[in-house]
């Protein structure tokens, strides 16, 4: 041979096989990372560094497909020579089949032969056809269930028809009840409303005028009675209501009572038994004292005292004239008096108020 001819360089698969055979272990094996570390570092030092990790990965896949090596987990092992002799023929066939795809990088992952795919619906259909036989008890049970369902549905339909008949009978009976009263039916139909009540025509009788409440001026008991002349009521009193007879006090009795009250002395200063502080009357015995309290003079004096010791502005009933005088000088009474005066002077216009809580008519407020 000519000296210019160069020897053939080993391929990447041969380098991988030689690396696995050169291991000192009894079973030559190595992981992909170890092979990549060994071969890539060697080729980097050489003049031509065209080997990459992807090339080593593809070469390992091709060697596994050819049957030269076997992958056990993460490690790659060389098949022993005995196994190579047994499967020599099969290796030759596989090598011939894969010889055309050694340099093709896109055909590395060829899918193995798979049985034809059968859809799930087809499988269910096939199993249903196999189960449809006369001797199969499951099929008979299914048929019995279907018949039971149909029977129950028919019973429900019959019961619904019976309920409709009962409702129609109830409507007819209610119509007969409502048709008893002709006026009731005519009035309800005129309004477009069907009234089913048996007491629809009953009405509550309105109260007479005398039984209705009257919007009158409220008079306090034993205070406002006998206060001057009674005011004329704008509303006419009904004939059914009978006015109560009030106790009338004569002018002479009133003057005598006023004279007694002007000389009023508190009972705490007297401390006398059977003594009436209002009338300033001393009784000799308890019976005389009780009879005095039942007299017209005493009742009139008590009524006048209550009237004089009542503040209408503050709505307070006091116990004595002395306490009434103290109340008139108190701060709450004076503040309320000033407030009422300012309110009436601002809104009244023609209302003229005098001093000491008296209006134009001379009537005292409190």
For residue 111, what pLDDT band results from cuts at 50, 70 and 90? very low
The pTM of the full predicted model, rounded to 2 decimals, is 0.23
Confidence of residue 26 (pLDDT cuts 50, 70, 90): low
Q: Which residue has the higher pLDDT, 45 or 38?
A: 38
For the chain, count helices (H), then strands (E).
Answer: 14, 7
According to the model, what pLDDT value does residue 212 have? 84
Range scoring the smallest mean pLDDT among 29-38, 76-85, 159-168: 76-85
- Contact present, 100 and 84 (Cβ < 8 Å): no
Quick check: helix, strand or coil at residue 210?
helix
Mean pLDDT (whole number) for 31-36: 80
- Give residue 259's pLDDT: 76
- CA atoms of 366 and 358, how far apart (whole Å): 9
pLDDT at 363 over 80: no
Count the residues in the chain: 366
Give backbone dihedrals phi and psi of 43, rounded to 5 degrees, phi first. -75, -25
Count other C-beta atoms under 10 Å from residue 268's C-beta: 8
Residue-level pLDDT at 330:
92
Cβ–Cβ < 8 Å for 59, 13: yes
- 229 vs 288, residue with greater confidence: 288
Residue 206 confidence (pLDDT) above 60? yes
Question: If you average pLDDT over residues 135-151, what whole number do you get?
Answer: 72
User: So what's the pLDDT on residue 329?
Assistant: 92
Give CA separation, 92 vs 14, 39, 245, in Å: 17, 27, 145
Residue 63 or 229, more confident:
63
Q: Which position has the higher pLDDT, 217 or 182?
A: 217
Residue 315, judged by CB atoms within 10 A of its CB (0-12, 13-18, 19+), counts as exposed
Distance between CA atoms of residues 249 and 296, nearest Å? 9
pLDDT digits (tens, 9 = 90+) for 309-349: 899 889 888 888 888 889 999 999 999 999 999 988 875 54
Mean pLDDT taken over the chain = 69
From the list 59, 150, 159, the residue with the least C-alpha distance to 108 is 59
Rounded average pLDDT over 231-245 = 50
């Amino acid at each position: 041979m000519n000296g210019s001819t160069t020897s053939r360089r080993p391929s990447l698969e041969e380098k991988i096989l030689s690396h696995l055979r050169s291991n000192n272990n009894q079973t030559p094996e190595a992981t992909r990372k170890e092979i990549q570390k060994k071969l890539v570092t060697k080729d980097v030092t050489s003049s031509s560094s065209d080997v990459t990790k992807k090339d080593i990965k593809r070469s390992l896949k091709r060697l596994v497909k050819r049957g030269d090596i076997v992958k056990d987990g993460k490690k790659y092992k060389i098949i022993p020579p005995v196994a190579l002799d047994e499967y020599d023929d099969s290796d030759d066939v596989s090598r011939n089949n894969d010889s055309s795809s050694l340099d093709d990088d896109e055909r590395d992952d060829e899918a193995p032969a798979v049985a034809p795919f059968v859809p799930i619906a087809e499988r269910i259909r096939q199993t249903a056809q196999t189960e449809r036989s006369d001797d199969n008890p499951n099929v008979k049970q299914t048929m019995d269930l279907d018949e039971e369902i149909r029977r129950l549905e028919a019973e429900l339909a019959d019961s619904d028809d019976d309920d409709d008949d009962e409702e129609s009978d109830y409507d007819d009976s209610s119509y007969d009840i409502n048709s008893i009263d002709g006026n009731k039916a005519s009035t309800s139909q005129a309004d477009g409303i069907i009234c089913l009540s048996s007491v629809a025509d009953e009405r509550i009788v309105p109260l007479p005028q005398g039984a209705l409440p009257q919007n009158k001026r409220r008079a306090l008991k034993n205070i406002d009675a006998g206060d001057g002349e009674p005011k004329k009521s704008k509303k006419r009193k009904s004939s059914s209501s009978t006015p109560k007879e009030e106790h009338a006090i004569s002018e002479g009795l009133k003057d005598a009572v006023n004279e007694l009250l002007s000389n009023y002395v508190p009972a705490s200063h007297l401390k006398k038994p059977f003594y009436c502080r209002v009338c300033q009357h001393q009784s000799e015995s308890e019976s005389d004292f009780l009879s005095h309290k039942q007299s017209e003079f005493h009742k009139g004096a008590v009524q006048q005292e209550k009237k004089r010791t009542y503040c209408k502005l503050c709505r307070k009933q006091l116990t004595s004239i002395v306490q009434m005088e103290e109340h008139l000088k108190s701060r709450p009474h004076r503040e309320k008096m000033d407030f009422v005066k300012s309110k009436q002077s601002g809104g009244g216009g023609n209302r003229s108020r005098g001093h000491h809580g008296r209006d134009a008519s001379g009537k005292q407020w409190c």
